[in-house]
Amino acid sequence: MPVTVEQSSGRDRLNIHGAIDLETGRTVMKDVLTVDAASTIMLLMAIEAMYSGKRLLHVFLDNARFHHAKLVQI
């Protein structure tokens, strides 16, 4: 199986925001400079675009501070 993401040297930071459709295994991933409220919003917008025909989406987030940011909750 080919490697999807090359291994970093340990000193390089690799920030990936991602989501997986639990029914189909379909994924969306965003390689971002910083994982923060803005990158969370970009991920949520990408998910929304992938499922624009759906009326309801369930999104599970962990307890990271940026997931609770006011910008994300709007």
pLDDT at 73: 84
- What is the model's pLDDT at position 41? 92
Encode pLDDT of 12-65 as tens digits. Answer: 777 888 889 988 998 888 888 888 999 999 889 999 999 999 888 888 888 888
Amino acid at 6: E
Q: Are 67 and 61 a contacting pair, CB within 8 Å?
A: yes
Confidence check: pLDDT of 74 > 80: no
C-alpha dihedral sign at 70, 67, 17, 28: negative
Q: How far is residue 55's CA from residue 40's CA, in Å, rounded to a whole number?
A: 21
